[in-house]
Structure 1
Amino acid sequence: SLGDRHPSVATTLNNIAFVYRAQGRYEEALAYYEEALSIRKESLGNRHPFVVIVLNNIRVLRALM
């Protein structure tokens, strides 16, 4: 019942970001990763493994930028 802040939305955003990253669309990817991170932190807490996954994805992306 979290609507657009549900963890499954964060998963979708993370996946979209991954595609953008693969296409070299880094700024767009970063925006999607950041929104996914926000949702996951809000719904799962800062220390949840799914939060760590997005943080790692952002780290990889920033290394490419």
Structure 2
Amino acid sequence: MRQKKLFIKTLEIGKKCLGNRHPWIATNISNLASCYKSQNKIDQAESLYSEALTLYRKLLDESHPSLTEALNNLGMLYINKKNMWKQKSY
């Protein structure tokens, strides 16, 4: 729980310093998403991963490593989400 508070505070400070449209902000949104994912808060993680991906797409070239990492993070979340759904259906 403490890690989530730290990620949120870091993001707030970053937005004050850099504004909302900066790759560093997208990275920290993704970090917060990972925190939610580790707590099995999949819907919150999905929303934040999507937000980070959208921001990266606006700011970076399609071949940038951060953009590919964001795509990978969201894709892995979808795989985990699908597996969780399958487990619940039994």
TM-score when normalising by structure 1: 0.91
TM-score when normalising by structure 2: 0.67
Aligned partner of 1:27 in structure 2 is 43
More displaced 10-residue stretch of structure 1: 2-11 or 17-26: 2-11
Displacement of 1:47 after TM fit?
A: 2.1
Aligned identity (percent) is 36
Extract unaligned runs of 5+ from structure 1: none
1:48 is the counterpart of 2:39: no
Q: What's the Cα RMSD here?
A: 1.1
Q: Which runs of 4+ in 1 moved over 3 A?
A: none
Aligned partner of 1:11 in structure 2 is 27
Count of residue correspondences: 64
Amino acid at match of 1:43: L
